[in-house]
Amino acid sequence: MDEIIDLTVGFDQREAVAYHTFVQSVLETASVPCRFMPLNTKSLKDYDETHTDGSNEFIYSRFLVPHLMNFKGWAIYADGDMICLEDIKKLWDLRDKKYAVQVVKHNYETKVTKKYWGNKNENYPRKNWSSVVIWNCSHDKHKILSPNFIQNQTGSFLHRFHWLNDDEIGSIDKKWNWLAMEYEEKKEVNLIHYTIGTPCFKEYSNKSFSSYWNKSFSNLLDGHYKKEDLG
């Protein structure tokens, strides 16, 4: 087979439906095969989550991607609270070997001080840069990203990619990580990030861009369940 896209996706059992709906949305538009790896902390046998400041279970494990790929090849990382509206191959085709990572370089201040589960939504440098990442897994600078190293680093160090020089961080168009409820609602976006709260939560079920998530969720269930089967 000529090409397979490796996608590592954040997984939190408390919002497992978000992971599966994101995968559904990718499959609906992908023009080449995709290989999904859920970042389920229970299956990461050599990694113990020692941080206590995370709003979800994959906030630090995302930096294991090069390690999980045996420091070879390429992979896309994406948070699970997203919907893909465009062929993921178009994101994959942006890979540039002169960079260690490629991200959307958001520069904004939040409009919402609290997000899902009542977590504080604070402003900080490079906020949401690490929520979609094209990883050049074989880049030499990533060799330090062992499970033990990640367990002992701060969030600011990891999420700001401080093990890299700035010129090793490539830029992706914002349409590949469009922040619902933070950015204006428009049609010309490729990937929606429900960073404040996924529409699977009742309080966000009818917020900005929620119709796209609800459509993929409906497609996920279509043909598998009938209302009477659910009792």
Question: Cα–Cα distances in Å, from 60 out to 15, 120, 168?
Answer: 17, 17, 21
* pLDDT tens figures, 153-177: 998 999 999 999 999 999 999 999 9
CA 6 to mean position of chain CA atoms: 13
Contact 45, 67 (CB under 8 A): no
Beta strand 5-10 pairing with 74-78:
parallel
For the whole model, what pTM was predicted?
Answer: 0.91
Question: Cα–Cα distances in Å, from 67 out to 8, 46, 214?
Answer: 12, 11, 34
* pLDDT tens figures, 100-115: 999 999 999 988 867 7
What are the tokens at 185? 């609602």
| pLDDT value of residue 228 | 46
**CA-wise closest residue to 172 among 185, 160, 189:** 189
Q: What is the rounded CA–CA span in Å between residue 109 and residue 119? A: 16
Contact 197, 203 (CB under 8 A): yes
| pLDDT value of residue 222 | 83
Contact 67, 146 (CB under 8 A): yes
In the chain the domains, ranked by start, together with CATH numbers, are 5-224 (3.90.550.10)
| pLDDT value of residue 227 | 42
Q: pLDDT-based confidence at 90, cuts 50/70/90?
A: very high
